[in-house]
Amino acid sequence: MTAAAAALEVEGLCKSFRAVRALDQVALSLHYGRVTALLGDNGAGKSTLVKCISGVYAPDAGVVKVDGVVQAIASPETARSLGIETVHQTLAVIDPLDVVENLFLNREHTRGGRLGAWLGVLDKKRMRAESNEILGRLDIRIPSLRRQMSALSGGQRQAVAIGRAAAWGQQIVLLDEPAAALGVEQAGRVLELIRSLRGAGVAVLLITHNMDRVTEVCDRAVVLRQGRKTAEVNVGDVTKDDLVAYITGARTGDPDPEAERAGSDP
């Protein structure tokens, strides 16, 4: 069976903050139609890696490839233009804007043809309708789409950020603890959404501390420890206890399952 094509590849990524080496020669690949878990204790470098991929941080060394082409991702706008959508642990939402404005930030629908687009005449009715559809997929209940983000609860804010990434993520979606502030029902909706993204051929990276979620929706798992990649496994080949052992350092050194499989092909 032919392996899914690589959507995103990270090679030799390094990032330091003064004397602290946050990432040390990290390699990672995300494949279309697969969900990859990024695991590790707090401070392992997971969020830093996501921020380097999504243009928040500039890495000190290493390369990021999208569809096999080396890219200099200098900003979140550049990442989005390459098809990379991200939900950060510290949510990237604009508090003074309302829900619709956040969902369609820099992607606003206009009306009135070319003249309307040039004048910036927004099609607010269409954006409200699509916003209701986006939020409905996650069963997100918000009293008014005109409500500013600053007036929403932490769970509602997180749900809006997830909805935005899912709506626009057609190639690569990075999720950093997406269900951390959500209730059980909404967290279940997020897992359904991740499955839908995988079914649509999207490459998904999921950071989570919940091993049940890893075994439910993830195909592969990459483990970081003190800024270095210490393991990469197929989730179906290991137990939850194995994953915890990789995270704590009790078990290390498993080969990259993709490389091992490729090497065994005739």
pLDDT for 3? 55
- Enclosing H/E stretch for 37: strand 35-39
Long-range contacts of 145-154 (CB under 8 A, 24+ apart): 145/98, 145/99, 145/100, 146/98, 146/99, 146/100, 147/98, 147/99, 148/95, 148/96, 148/97, 148/98, 149/93, 149/94, 149/95, 149/96, 149/97, 149/98, 149/99, 149/102, 150/95, 150/96, 152/99, 154/181
pLDDT for 184? 84
pLDDT for 238? 95
CA distances from 200 to 86, 91, 111, 192 (A): 17, 25, 29, 12
Other CB atoms within 10 A of residue 181 CB: 17
Domain limits, the chain: 6-264
| CB contact at 8 A, 8 and 203 | yes
Task: Note the pTM of the prediction, 2 decimals.
Answer: 0.83
pLDDT for 266? 45
Query: What CATH topology corresponds to 6-264?
Result: Rossmann fold (3.40.50)
Residue 12 phi/psi, 5° resolution? 60, 35
pLDDT for 181? 72
Distance of CA 260 to the CA centre of its chain: 26
Residue 173 phi/psi, 5° resolution? -125, 125
5 three-class SS: coil
Per-residue pLDDT of the chain (266 residues; tens, 9 = 90+): 345 789 999 999 999 999 999 999 999 999 999 999 999 999 999 999 999 999 999 999 999 999 999 999 999 999 999 999 998 877 678 889 999 999 998 888 888 888 777 877 889 999 999 999 888 877 777 888 999 999 988 778 888 888 888 888 779 999 998 887 777 887 888 888 899 899 989 999 999 999 999 999 999 999 999 999 999 999 999 999 999 999 999 987 654 545 444 444 44
pLDDT for 256? 54
pLDDT for 263? 46
Q: Terminus-to-terminus CA distance in the chain, angstroms? A: 12
CA atoms within 13 A on the CB side of 76: 14
d(CA 173, CA 202) in angstroms, rounded, equals 7
3 state SS for 124-147 = HHHHHHHHHHHHHHCCCCCCCCCC
